[in-house]
Structure 1
């Protein structure tokens, strides 16, 4: 009987240690940086901060100096043309160098995803697809299907299909891992 109790106690200790180790590993795989900028801009623009985290994770893995093969820059991998347009809308000074500044990049990217969410009538899936593939492509897919939305499986661009899946997988993980990081709001 004592052996069973000792074995159960050891098993419980192992599981407790494993759970802490598991979350430690997950936090390495899903980092969270620049929280003050994410909090500030998601609140003022009214976007779910976990969505911003998931986009940053999927786009740059929180590398503020990331540059894609297509020239997208910074944490949220903004194309200079889109960033310049958003900066003009926000009446901000623009230079491509500013896109490496985490606060500036998060502001521009958060405003842009909010613009897309509003444009697609709160269909976040469409907004995320447009963030990756562009509004022209998403609008063309909708027109071809003669519908106002589509499932992730129906996204014809393999890269965009994977991007949307990554963002929403990351979104769920960020909500669980960092559930107390952002105050509850109406996003």
Structure 2
């Protein structure tokens, strides 16, 4: 048996044993990447965008939504941002998955790009508290800069320079849909109040 195939087989066996040994009632993911020598590396908390999803499991330990919301409320109070808006951003950005990584490389619950995270002093992008605090700080910066939820959300998604360039929400379909979706969830979380 060739080495990469043997390693892949071992990885499948590892994944299966992790799935069988997990006892929590939530779902989770196992990630992997293949190094230059053909070696497989597995984790449930990817440290870079080199990792891809290997398997999705039920009964895999994860942070509960209630635990995440406690941190959201604390960080929102600390930085003067509506916690319902922060929760809406998290729902759209990562669907409350602390280890989420986008195809563009955004990381964690609030899907912070590595360069933005560096500017915000974010050292552990997959740490729930650090990620939420950095995301809330960045959202607060955009709210202060633009003075409007829709524009701040557009800046969060497309970048503040794009909002300035177009003097409003940029005409990108992804950004327009993002703003609409976050504001819709925000309204629902506030009990339908504008």
What TM-score, normalized by structure 2, do the two folds share?
Answer: 0.63
Which of structure 1's runs of 4+ aligned residues deviate more than 3 A? none
1:130 maps to what in 2?
Answer: 155
1:104 maps to what in 2?
Answer: 130
What TM-score, normalized by structure 1, do the two folds share?
Answer: 0.65
May I ask how many residue pairs the two structures share in their alignment? 129
CA offsets, 1:92-146, max 9 Å, x none? xx43xx11111111000000000010011x211111000000011111001xxxx
Write 1 or 2 for the structure with the bigger share of helix.
1
CA distance in 1, matches of 2:91, 2:148: 21
CA distance in 2, matches of 1:167, 1:175: 12
Structure 2's unaligned 5+ residue stretches are: 1-64
CA RMSD in angstroms, aligned pairs only: 1.8
Alignment of 1:60 onto 2:75: no
Residue 83 (structure 1) aligned to one of 117, 135, 140:
117
CA distance in 2, matches of 1:103, 1:175: 23
Write 1 or 2 for the structure with the bigger share of strand.
2
Q: Is the 8 A contact 1:33 1:62 kept in 2?
A: no
Structure 1's unaligned 5+ residue stretches are: 1-30, 88-93, 143-149, 180-187
Q: Is the 8 A contact 1:67 1:74 kept in 2?
A: yes
Larger RCO, structure (CA 8 Å, separation 6 or more): 1
Shift of 1:58: 0.6
CA distance in 1, matches of 2:78, 2:190: 20
CA distance in 2, matches of 1:37, 1:57: 14
